[in-house]
Structure formats: C-alpha cells, structure tokens
Structure 1
Amino acid sequence: MITYEDHCLRALAADGRWPELLAAYRRHRAAAVERSGEESAAAVTAPLGHLIAYAAPPELAVRLFDRDGGPGTVAGVADHDAGPLWEVLATRHSWLRLAPLLVPAAVRRLVAQTRVLIGEDLSYGAEPDPEGVPLVLEPWETAGWEEGTRVREYLPHGGARTALLTLPAGREGLGEVELPDPGMGLRGQRATRALGALAPWAEVACVRGPAPQAAAQLARGTRVAGGFTRVTGGYVPFALVYPALVQAAAVDRAHGSAHGRLALWRALAAMAGAGGPDRAEVNALVARMRCFTWLEPAAGLRHLHVALEDPACGLAWAVRGSEEL
C-alpha cells in the first residue's frame, strides 16, 4: 500500500529536492537504529534509499554511504531493497562519475566490480582490487551471458528484473548417462569450502576422479542395476557454467553480482592451487577444465547441478542445490 508519506517523498523526488530526501533518509534511519537496531533500520529505510541511489545525482547519491550524517545514518554494504543500494547506484553511473565521489573502501570495491560486470574495463582507470581479481572481464566471463543479465535491472520506485539462471536450463545437448561409482569423497579441500561459500543452499563434494564421479556423490537420479545412478546429463563449456555460479551467490537480495564474481574467482584460485585470484593461473584452469551438468526431477525454480574437473590435478568438485523463489 502506498502511504501519504510515500506520495510526499515521490513528490520531492519529482521536484529534484534530493537534499531533503537524503535528510529524511538519515533521520528515519537513525531513529530506527535507536528504536530497534541496524537490521530493522536498514529494512525500514531501504525503499527510500533505493529511490535516492537510483535517481539522485551521483554527487548526492553517494552520500548514502558517508558518515557525515552522524551515528546510525549511513547505509552499509548489506542495506538493500530489491538489491543492495550500492548495486543500484552502480547501475546508474559510470566509474568515471563515481570514482572521485565514493569514499568507503568496501562500497567502492563492490561498485567497481559491478561496473566491470556491466562491461567497463577498469584495468587502467581504478586502483587494483585488493585480492587481485581483474578489473576487466575475461573472454570466458562474457561468452555465456545474454545481453543485460549480468546485474539486476532496477526499477525507479523499487523492484528489479533478474534473470532466472539455472544449470542446466533444459535438456538440449544432454542425454542419458549412467554415473560411475562415486568412490570416496575427499575432505578438507580449500576449494570445496570456497565453492560452498557461493550459495548457502548448495552442497559441494570433492573426489579424486573425473567430473561424473563427483556428480555421483550428490546426484539424485534413477537407480539401476549394480547400485549406479542414471541421469540426464552431459558436458558443457565453462562459459555456460560461469553465469549460473555467479548468480548463485547473488540470490540473497543483500548480495549483488559483484559478490558472486569475487567469490567465484576465490574458488577458481583455490581449485588451481593458487594463493589468491591469480589471473594467469585461473585462465589456465578454465582453459583445461571439464564441466558436467545433469537434470534432477525435483529441482526448484533456481537450481545448480554441475561438476567441475581439473585434469591437471585429477580432482573434481560437484555443486548441487535448488531453491524455490
């Protein structure tokens, strides 16, 4: 329901009275923090924050994240409505406009990574990422996306359009496959933990063996003679796997696609045995990686079923999960 106050705020926005809207945001947020804490305050003020981040001039919109308003007034990286406020801001202005204005390091980094996902090359126009994640998309990062689906498309007064990325998306290119014996799973792998951090609803398993053997650790299919599992599955290029892995980490509205890209680069670096997101090591891993995906009969609207094999080290990781939206 649209309240009288909502009408007043939208009227102020229509008149371009952004300083008054920012003052209202800060006043309401500080009062809500004092009354019921940060989490509640972020939820109460998120719709107004969204309006400011979306439509205000960048010089004012960035002040959502400045501490000059006093205790309780500043939006944090987790403040969100349809998505995080910093991602809303990042979709509206180029890095050239935002770079001189943004101060908080965490927000600045996430905005930069969002601009990279949108398609900007910041490798020569921004400070290096603290973990070494490239500030330009690799060719395999761009190949599997449909136009305009890397980041949520935000709407002026709240809400967003989001691509429903699933893996696999359908039966095309897949066939009946009898998975091998799952063998013994390996525990304690740094890459297993990193892949598990992508999505809280996903299971991850690691084996010494090929991708279908890792899939057999987690897959739900038809049991056949000998205790093996039959699924509809097949191999796909990593370029088609990448978007679903990035978006898996951005399902939570407090997280944006930048979280997904950063988390996936950490996971790929761990799979490659690198100490951090080394560009050459990750590119070499992606070039040799074999990816196996499979369908499951009870998968939710958002689902992820993939096994990632590194032939160089003989290990494979399976990631499986589904979530109703």
Structure 2
Amino acid sequence: MITYEDHRLRALADDGRWPELLTAYRQGRAAAVERAGEEPAAALTAPLGHLIAYSAPPELSVRLFDRDGGPGTVAGVADHDAGPLWEVLATRHSWLRLAPLLVPAPVRRLVAQTRVLLGEDLSYGAEPDPEGMPLLLAPWETAGWDEGARVRQYLPCGGARSALLTLPASREGLGEVVLPAPGARLGGQRATRALAALADWAEVVCVRGPAPQAAAQLARRSRVTGGYLPFALVYPALVQAAVVDRGRGSAHGRLALWRALVAMAGAEGTDGPDRAEVDALVARMRCFIWHEPAAGLRHLHVALEDPACGLAWAVSGSEDL
C-alpha cells in the first residue's frame, strides 16, 4: 500500500479537486522527465497517477493519457504503480463510459481488452481489434476462471490484490509419471516464439511428438508428478504468466496467448484469426502438467499437444516474487 506524504494532494483528492490534481501530476511528470528521463519520471509520478485513474471521474482520469498537457506530461502504456495506469482505469468504468473519451490507440486497445476480460461484450458497437482479436470471451476462456481473478483488484490509495495462478496449482489429481525420451526439438516455429512472449522467465520448446515428450525436454527428472488437464483450466495461468511485471496487465497476457493459439492452429486470416480454427484446436488440445520440486512462488510447467499436427510445445519456468 502506498501512502501519500503530500497532505495537500490528499486534501485535494478528498475535496474532489481533480483538475488541480491532474495539473500537479502533469507538472511533476514533466519536471521529472527533464531532470531524470522518462522511466524515472513515470515511476515517481505513478502513485498520483494511480489515485487519479482510480478515483477521478472518467472525463478527467482519461486525460492522464492525453498529450494536451505538453511534452513529458502524458502517461504511456508502461506507466505503472501497483499495475498499469490504463488497467486501473479500465477496472473502474465500463467501455460505454470510456469509449467516447479515450483517444490514444494503444491505451484504448488495452482498456478494451481489459473490459472484455472483465466480462463485457464489445463484439457489437466497438471498433474491431487491430489484429482481429475477439472482443468477447470464448466459452473456454471463462470456464476455468472466476471473473474476479482475471484482472488485478486495485485499491484506492495504491496497491492491488491479484490471484497467484500457477501450473500445477497443487499435486491434487496428479500421479507419478515416468516421462519418455525427449522428443527432438524443432526450431523456427512461430507458435514457439509467440509462447515465449508470454513470460520471459519461462523456457519454451517445440517437439514432434506427444506432450510428455515435450515435457521431457524441460523437466529436471524423468520421473515426475504429473497429469492431464483440460485447456480451460490451463488458460488462466497462461494468461497470468505475462503479468509478473507490474508494467503489464492481463490484456497483454490474453493478446499474447491468442497470438500463440492462432499460430499453433495455423488460423491466420486476411481479416484476423479464424476463431473456429482456434476453437477446434482448444477442443482437441491435450495439456500435460508436471510438478517441479524447486518451483518458485510463481511457476508454469505445461506441455500443449496438438494431435492433429503431431506437435507439442512445453513451457516451463519459475519466478520468485
């Protein structure tokens, strides 16, 4: 939890004097950019930005991202405190309220994708996603994931609560498995690169063969505690793998995972992903998870097999928080 030492700013917030707070944010950020550069300035002013994004009326809070204040004053997509300022904003207001107000395209897209994760249907009335990513959650995206855990739950004066999603979450339902000999690694797969973009703390390999042969490439031992899960139960942890960095939000994870699924299914189309092909991939996917004894607080050990093409991808890594 962040405490605000500047009592004047706290008093302004208590009185709802948001234009003055926005001015203070912009002046402070511009001065810090001139003095120390963009990245330190973003960090120094993020607590005040969080307060504005969380509590100010949307007509004012969206102006954090407007360039009308001049050079150095605008919050970018990477500005964050407990999480990205755009994600804080997205958790506070519906797309109906925000759509007429948000201008910058990168922020607008991430806010829209966040609202989709929170359960809004933007498939009608909203502009299409630049990559054609769906603006409505597929049934398999909601089946294994409680709505309240999909995005960080932000607090008014800083800080956030978030679910710690790991794979495997426990040993329950898993058994002892002797892995086969590792499959031969395949290089140059677009899906491998896309999966690697989910989490820079995890290793990704692709093999020709079933999921256990992919797992054998990365597992530390040939005898593991493991088992199979439906993709719907694997999906949340894959999305949240991208959110270890507080500068990234759940929208980053969803977009990255959809890119990986599109590449795995060969579902690229001229007008965006072929969603029927992605749905078919998800339906036939075999997901093998295994436990590693030295796993950190956040860990991911899963192999994704597409029996239709005979390929499997393993994603394995551990991150101490």
Q: TM-score range by the shorter chain?
A: over 0.9
Asked if 1:117 corresponds to 2:117, the answer is yes
Whole-angstrom distance in 2 between the partners of 1:4 and 1:165: 34
Q: Which amino acid aligns with 1:157?
A: C
Aligned ranges 1:39-58 → 2 under 5 Å: 39-58=39-58
Deviations 1:27-81 (A, max 9, x none): 0000000001100100000000000000000000000000000000000000000
**Gapped regions of structure 2 (runs ≥ 5):** none
Give the letter aligned to residue 254 of structure 1: G
Counterpart of 2:265, as a letter, is: A
Tell me if the contact between 1:87 and 1:256 (Cα under 8 Å) persists in the aligned partners. Answer: yes
In 2, are the aligned partners of 1:179 and 1:231 still within 8 Å (CA)? yes
Q: In structure 2, what is the Cα distance between the partners aligned to 1:48 and 1:320?
A: 37
Superposition deviation, residue 193 in structure 1: 0.5
User: Residue in 2 aligned with 1:303?
Assistant: 299
1:270 is matched with: 263
For the 8 Å contact 1:51–1:157, the answer to whether it is kept is yes
- 1:40-79 equivalences in 2 (<5 Å): 40-79=40-79
The answer to whether 1:186 aligns with 2:186 is yes
1:155 aligned residue = 155
Distance 1:4 1:307, change over 3 A: closer
Contact 2:267 2:275 in 1 (8 A): no
Partner in structure 2 of residue 244 of structure 1: 237
Task: Name the CA distance, whole Å, in 1 between partners of 2:78 and 2:5.
Answer: 28
d(CA) in 2 for partners of 1:279 and 1:184? 30
Among 297, 303, 310, the alignment partner of 1:314 is 310
Structure 1: which 4+ aligned runs deviate by more than 6 Å? none
Residue 52 to residue 237, structure 1, CA distance change in 2 (3 Å): same
**2:134 corresponds to:** 134
CA distance in 2: counterparts of 1:28 and 1:277, whole angstroms = 43
Instruction: Report if aligned partners of 2:46, 2:81 keep a CA contact under 8 Å in 1.
Output: yes
Q: Deviations over 1:300-325 (max 9, x none)?
A: 00000000000110000000001001
Task: Name the structure 1 match of 2:97.
Answer: 97
CA drift of 1:278 comes to 2.5
Gaps of 5+ in 1: 222-228
How many Å separate the matches in 2 of 1:315 and 1:252? Answer: 30
Contact 1:132 1:278 in 2 (8 A): no
Q: For residue 231 of structure 1, what is the aligned residue in structure 2?
A: 224
Deviation digits for residues 221-269 of structure 1, max 9, x if unmatched?
A: 3xxxxxxx11000000000100000000111100000000000000000
How high is the TM-score relative to the length of structure 1?
0.96
Q: Secondary structure at the match of 2:69?
A: coil
CA distance in 1, matches of 2:308, 2:11: 61
Q: 1: CA distance between counterparts of 2:3 and 2:206? A: 50
Partner deviation per Cα, 1:79-98 (whole Å, 9 max, x = no partner): 00000000000000000000
Give a deviation string over 1:166-210, Cα, whole Å, max 9, x none. 000001111000001003111111110100010000000110000
Residues 3 and 178 (structure 1), Cα distance of their counterparts in 2 relative to 1, 3 Å cut: closer
Q: Is the contact between residue 51 and residue 157 of structure 2 (CA under 8 Å) also seen in structure 1? A: yes
Q: Distance in 1 between matches of 2:303 and 2:3?
A: 46
By how many angstroms is 1:156 displaced? 0.1
Partner of 1:205: 205
